[in-house]
């Protein structure tokens, strides 16, 4: 089991296994983490459990329809699920244990920090990974 928590320890969770790790360079992730990019562990919903602190979670709408959960006590980003994904996205810095996998790729490299060079040889995607773009709700497609 992989355990994780926010900086104050109020929000805690457990994971049975991590599917993948990815690095996101979008402006929102950079601003919200105050870092050159954010790394996320992607976890099947059935392999993720809250251990404590769900009542401490607040959600910030970082862009229309995209909500970023964080601990209202310490401000740490915490796990969340985008409505268009089948997995829970866990900020990897919250993990207390080795997830057993290593980063697979970079996304939103078109908005990476200009002073950061990506030279690890992992695949790079200027925007979304093809096939994982947000899905529009039924009935709102362009006509």
* pTM of the model as a whole: 0.88
Q: Is 115 inside a domain boundary?
A: yes
- So what's the pLDDT on residue 139? 43
Residue 136 tokens read as 């529009």
Q: Is 131 inside a domain boundary?
A: no
Integer CA distances (angstroms), 29 to 26, 90, 112, 123, in order: 5, 13, 10, 19
Cβ atoms of 36 and 112 closer than 8 Å: yes
**Hey, how many other C-beta atoms are within 10 angstroms of the C-beta on 16?**
12
- Please count the structural domains in the chain: 1
CATH number of the domain to which 88 belongs:
2.170.150.70
Mean residue pLDDT across the chain: 91
Cβ atoms of 70 and 58 closer than 8 Å: yes
Cβ atoms of 37 and 116 closer than 8 Å: yes
Cβ atoms of 87 and 96 closer than 8 Å: no
- State pLDDT tens for residues 1-48: 999 999 999 999 999 999 999 999 999 999 999 999 999 999 999 999
134, pLDDT greater than 80: no
Residue 15 tokens read as 């994971």
Give the model's confidence band at 141: pLDDT under 50 very low, under 70 low, under 90 confident, else very high: very low
Q: Is 138 inside a domain boundary?
A: no
Which residue segment(s) compose the domain that 6 sits in? 2-125
Q: Is 143 inside a domain boundary?
A: no
Output the CA angle 124-26-79, nearest 5 degrees. 105
Across the range 41-61, mean pLDDT stands at: 96
Q: Is 34 inside a domain boundary?
A: yes
């Amino acid at each position: 089991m992989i355990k994780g928590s926010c900086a104050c320890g109020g929000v805690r969770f457990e994971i049975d296994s991590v599917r993948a790790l990815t690095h996101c360079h979008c402006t929102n992730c950079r601003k919200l983490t105050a870092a050159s990019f954010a790394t996320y562990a992607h976890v099947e919903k059935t392999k993720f459990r809250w251990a404590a602190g769900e009542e401490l979670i607040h959600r910030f709408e970082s862009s229309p329809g995209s909500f970023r959960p964080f601990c209202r006590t310490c401000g740490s980003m915490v796990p969340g699920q985008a409505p268009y994904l089948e997995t829970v996205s866990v900020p990897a810095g919250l993990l207390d244990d080795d997830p057993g996998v290593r980063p697979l790729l970079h996304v939103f490299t078109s908005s990476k920090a200009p002073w950061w060079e990506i030279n690890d040889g992992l695949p790079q995607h200027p925007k979304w990974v093809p096939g994982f773009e947000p899905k529009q709700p039924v009935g709102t497609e362009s006509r």
